Structure 1
Amino acid sequence: MDPFVVVVLSLSFLLLLSLWRQSSGRRNLPPGPTPLPIIGNFHLIDMKNTRQSFSNFSKTYGPVYTLYFGSQPTVVLYGYEALKEALIDHGEEFSGRGSFPMLEKVFKGKGIAFSNGNVWKAKRLFTVNTLRNLGMGRRTIEEKVQEEAQWLVKELKKTNGSPYDPHFIMGCAPCNVICSIIFQNRFDYEDKDFLSLIGKVNECSKILTTPECQENGNQQTIYSLDHLASLVTGLFFAGTESTGTTMRCALLLLLKHPHITAKVQEEIDHVIGRHRRPSMQDRIHMPYTNAMVHEVQRYADIAPNSMVHEMTCDTKFRNYFLPKGTTVIASLTSVLQDSKEFPNPEMFDPAHFLDGNGNFKKSDYFMPFSTGKRVCVGQSLASMELFLFLTTILQNFKLKPLVDPKDIDITPIGSIFSTIPPTFQMCFIPI
C-alpha cells in the first residue's frame, strides 16, 4: 500500500478515535460547544475578553456548561446560584485545586493555593492559626497597616506633585505589611532585598496575565522547609499583588470619576479630619467610603475566574455526573457583574453598596475573594489594607490626572485568571 495512503488512513483513524473518546466522555457532563480534536474549544474563546466569551456560552448552554481546553473537559459555573450551590452547598466535593502548570513549577503542590487533600487542609489550618497568633484580626495588625500607610504618604510626597506611575509603590505598601507580619520588620522601599522580592512578585503577576495562559503527606513532609517556604511565598504573592493591583485600580477609577473622589474626601474631612490617622473604627461612620472600596473590588474584578477548582470525588450535580479530578472554573465575574444585584454593573458606582438612606449595605454577591472552602485566607487583611491605605492617601493628597477625566482609559489588561489596570501616570498633590 502506498505510504501516503497509510499515513492518511492512520491519521483518519486517530481523528475518529479522538472524536469518539470526546463524545463518550461528554455524555454525562453538562452541555457545551462541540470540541475540535486537539484544540478543544480554544477557537471559540476570545482570550483577550474571556468575560464576554463565558457570558455568551452561558446564554446558550445555561449556568453550568462544559468547555474543552485541549482534550480535557472543564466545567464552568456561571452565576450566583450555581457558584453558591457548588462552592458552598457542595463545598467539600468542589474543594480540590485544579492543575495550573505555569505556577506549579514554583509551588510544586505545596503551600495553600496549589495543594490538595489532607496536605491542603493541614496547611490552611496551620496558616490561619499562625496568622492569628501573629496578630491577624487584632489591633496589632491594624497598627502595622496604619504605620505603613504613613510611610506610603511620605514616599508619595517625594514626588512633589510631578507625574508619577504608582505601579511600584502600590505594591510596596502591602508587601511591607506582610514583611512586618512574617519577619516582624518592614523594609525601606529602596532596600535591595526588598526590591528583589517585589521583582519576583511582579514576574509571577506577568505570568498570570499572559493570555496563553500530594495528597496524604505525613506531618514531617507537611511542615518541611520546602512547604513552609511555599507557604510564605504564597502569602507574599497573594498579599502583595492582589492588594497592590486593586489599589492601582482604585486610583485610576477615582481619577476617572472626580465627583466620587470629592464625596469620599468630604466624608474623610467630616469623620476623621486632616491630622488623625484613619482607623477601622472609622469605617462604621463612613458608609460612602466603605461603599467606594467595595465597588472598586467589584468593578475591578481582578480574579475573574478565581483559581481553578477540581472535583475531589465522583459527584452528581444538577443531574450531571462530574468525575473525580474534573477541572472546574467558577466565574466570579458573573456574580460581581450580576445586573439584578448591581443595576448597570458596567458603571463604577458606590451606590451599588448603599441603601436608599445612604447607609452601607452588604451583598451576598460580593465575592472578589471567591467563596466556600477555598476562600482567600487573607480576606480580612486585604479589606483592612484597602480601606486604610486609600483613606490615608485621600486624606493627604488631591489626585490629579494628566488628561481630562473623560479621556482616561480604564480598559483592563487580562487573561482567563487575572485582570490588571493599564499603565498610567498621575500627580499626588499634597493637601
Structure 2
Amino acid sequence: MLRLWTLLVAVLMFLLILHFLKLSQSCKAYPPGPLRLPFIGNVWKIGSTFSQDMLIKLAKQYGNIYSLWLGSMPVVVVSGFEGVKEVLIKHSEDFVDRPVSPVITLLVKNKGIILSNGHNWKQQRKFGLVTMRKLGLGKKGVEHQIQEEAHELVEILARAKGQPLDPSLHIKNSVSNVVSALAFGHRFSVDDKEFIMLIDIIDKLINYPGTFFNYLAEIFPQVMQYLPGPHKKMLANAEIARSFARKEIEKHKEYQAMHDPQDFIDFYLLQMEKSKNDLSSTYNEENLAQDIFDFFIAGTETSATALQWALLLMANHPDIQQKVQKEMDDVFGSSHLLSYQDRKRLPYTSAVIHETLRAHYVLLAGIHRQSVKDVNIFGLLIPKGTAVVPDLRSVLLDPKQWETPQKFNPNHFLDKDGNFVEREAFLPFGAGARVCLGKELANIELFIFFTSLLRALTFQLQEGVKELSKEPIVATSVRPRPYKLCAIPRCHA
C-alpha cells in the first residue's frame, strides 16, 4: 500500500513538473514578468503587493513592458510615457480592441461603447460623439447645465455655515445630475431614492474589477457561475442600472420628440427610426441602455473623485488656494459668470486643475486594450489577442517627464512667465482611437465646478487637524479617504 502511495505521489509530482515546464515555455512568447504559478498565474503577486503604485513597482523590477497572468490569461502592462505613447498613439489601431474575458462577456455582451468591439463599437462611439456635439458639448448649452449644478453645490456647502462637512456625496450627486441632464433631459432630486440607489450601484460597479472575487470569476468562470458571491451581485447591480435607463427610455418613447430632440435618448430613438431598414444598424434599445450605463460609469466617478481630491488639496495648501482666488478676483471680480472659455485668462487656475488630475490620477491604471495582431514594441513581442494595460498612472508620475512627479506642483503646467503650458505626457484621459469619449465634458465640469466653488467658498481644515490624509482608498478607482473640511463663505463673492 505504501509503495502505491509513493508511486501516486511520484506520478503527481511528475505531472506538476511537466505542467510547470509547459507554463514556462508558453511564457517565453510574452514579455518577462513574475513567476507564473499553475492555475492562478500571478494572482499571488498582485494580492501580496496591491497598492496604487503596484504596477510602477513591478515595472522597476521587470522593465517597462512586462507580463502578468490571470490564471491562463496573459496581460501585458506597458509603463512609462514612451511605452504608453507607443501603444496608444503610434500603434493606436493595433490596440483598438477591448479584451473579451468571461466577466466582460457576461456584463456587456458586446453592447455599449466602453467595452464593446468591432462594428458595434465604431457605430455607437461615432453616434455618441456626434450627439454630444449636438447637445452643446463645448457650447453654452451644456455649460449652463453644469453652472446650475455647480451653483446648487455651492448653496448646499454654504448652508453648513462653516461647520465641518464631508463633501463627497454632494459632489457625486451634482456630477451625476450633469450626466442625467445630458442623457435624460432632466435632473433628479437629491432625495430621489432610485437616483440615490443608482449612484450607489455605479460606485460599487466601478470598484468591482479590482476585487479578489473578480480575479476568481475571470480565472475559474465555469466554477464561479454556480457559486454565490460579489460576482453575482455585480451582474445583478448592472442589470438594475440598465433597468433604470430602460424606464427613462420608455418615458421618452411615450412622449417622443421626433422633431425637436432634447437629450441623448431623444436623438437615439430618432436614429433608431431612421435606421430601422438598415440591416447593418446596431441602433437598438439594448445598446441605448448600455450607452447610458457607460455614461454614468465613465462620467460620474472620475469627475467626482477629481473634485474630491481638488478640495482636499486646497485645504492642505491654503497658499495655492489663495493664489487661485486672487487670480479669479483680479481678472473677473465677483460678478462675472465664468464659462469654460475663461480658462484661457486663468493660467494658474488651469494649472492647478491639471496638476490635480496628474498628481492624483483617479484610476488604478488605464482601461485594458487588446492587440488585434502581433505587435513588436521596443523589441518585445505582444502576440495577437493579448490584453494590454497602458499604465497611465506611470505616465503621470514619470520622472523623465515631470520635475517633481511625487509632489503636488502646479508649476508643472506653467512656463517661467506664468503662462499655461500643455504637456504631451498629460494623459489622464488616454489617447488614440479609444481616448475617453467624455474628455471634453469632464474638462468643462472640472473647470466650472472648481472655479464656482473657490469663488464662493474658502476650504479650510477643521480645528485641530494639521493636514488631510493623501493616503487613498485603492480599488479600480483611487479616491481620497473620507474627510471633513470647513467651507467658509467668502464675503465679497
For normalisation by structure 1, the TM-score amounts to: 0.92
1:118 Cα deviation after fit? 2.0
1:69 Cα deviation after fit? 2.6
Residue 333 of structure 1 corresponds to 393
Residue 176 of structure 1 corresponds to 177
Task: Tell me, yes or no, if structure 1 residue 147 matches structure 2 residue 207.
Answer: no
The correspondence of residues 198-347 of structure 1 with structure 2, limited to 5 A, is 198-208=199-209, 210=211, 222-347=282-407
CA deviation string 1:61-114 (max 9, x = no partner): 322111223332211101111111111111111111124666654433321111
1:424 Cα deviation after fit? 0.6
| Contact 2:29-2:383 at 8 Å conserved across structures | no
* Structure 1 gap ranges (5+): none
Task: Tell me, yes or no, if structure 1 residue 18 matches structure 2 residue 37.
Answer: no
- State the alpha-carbon separation in 2 of the partners of residues 153 and 47 from structure 1: 42
Moved more, 312-321 or 109-118: 312-321
Moved more, 381-390 or 63-72: 63-72
- State the alpha-carbon separation in 2 of the partners of residues 219 and 177 from structure 1: 34
Question: Percent identity between the aligned chains?
Answer: 37
1:397 Cα deviation after fit? 0.7
Residue 442 of structure 2 corresponds to 382
| Contact 1:157-1:428 at 8 Å conserved across structures | yes
Seen in structure 2, the aligned counterparts of structure 1 residues 348 and 101 have a Cα distance that, compared at 3 Å, is: farther
- State the alpha-carbon separation in 2 of the partners of residues 208 and 170 from structure 1: 23
- State the alpha-carbon separation in 2 of the partners of residues 209 and 268 from structure 1: 40
Moved more, 307-316 or 329-338: 307-316
- State the alpha-carbon separation in 2 of the partners of residues 33 and 206 from structure 1: 25
CA deviation string 1:359-388 (max 9, x = no partner): 111101111111121110000000110010
Seen in structure 2, the aligned counterparts of structure 1 residues 111 and 329 have a Cα distance that, compared at 3 Å, is: same
Task: Tell me, yes or no, if structure 1 residue 82 matches structure 2 residue 83.
Answer: yes
- State the alpha-carbon separation in 2 of the partners of residues 386 and 196 from structure 1: 24
1:156 Cα deviation after fit? 1.8
The correspondence of residues 3-152 of structure 1 with structure 2, limited to 5 A, is 4-5=5-6, 7-45=8-46, 49-99=50-100, 105-152=106-153
Residue 419 of structure 2 corresponds to 359
Task: Tell me, yes or no, if structure 1 residue 428 matches structure 2 residue 429.
Answer: no
CA deviation string 1:311-330 (max 9, x = no partner): 12233333333222211111
For the aligned residues, what is the CA RMSD?
Answer: 2.2
1:201 Cα deviation after fit? 1.7
Q: Which amino acid aligns with 1:330?
A: P
- State the alpha-carbon separation in 2 of the partners of residues 145 and 271 from structure 1: 22
| Match of residue 419, structure 1, among 478, 485, 488 | 478
Moved more, 98-107 or 110-119: 98-107
CA deviation string 1:36-56 (max 9, x = no partner): 222323333366644443223
CA deviation string 1:258-283 (max 9, x = no partner): 11111111112112222322211221
Q: Which amino acid aligns with 1:107?
A: V
Count the aligned residue pairs.
Answer: 426
Q: Secondary structure at the match of 2:343?
A: helix
| Contact 1:239-1:382 at 8 Å conserved across structures | yes
CA deviation string 1:317-351 (max 9, x = no partner): 33333222211111111110012321121111111
1:179 Cα deviation after fit? 1.3
| Contact 1:221-1:227 at 8 Å conserved across structures | no
- State the alpha-carbon separation in 1 of the partners of residues 52 and 204 from structure 2: 24
Seen in structure 2, the aligned counterparts of structure 1 residues 395 and 5 have a Cα distance that, compared at 3 Å, is: same
Q: Secondary structure at the match of 1:30?
A: coil
| Contact 2:87-2:390 at 8 Å conserved across structures | no
| Contact 1:33-1:41 at 8 Å conserved across structures | yes
- State the alpha-carbon separation in 1 of the partners of residues 355 and 92 from structure 2: 27
| Contact 1:209-1:413 at 8 Å conserved across structures | no
1:211 Cα deviation after fit? 6.1
Seen in structure 2, the aligned counterparts of structure 1 residues 103 and 246 have a Cα distance that, compared at 3 Å, is: farther
| Contact 1:46-1:53 at 8 Å conserved across structures | no
- State the alpha-carbon separation in 2 of the partners of residues 225 and 166 from structure 1: 36
Residue 461 of structure 2 corresponds to 401
CA radius of gyration, larger in: 2
- State the alpha-carbon separation in 2 of the partners of residues 70 and 281 from structure 1: 49
Q: Secondary structure at the match of 1:420?
A: strand
Seen in structure 2, the aligned counterparts of structure 1 residues 269 and 42 have a Cα distance that, compared at 3 Å, is: same
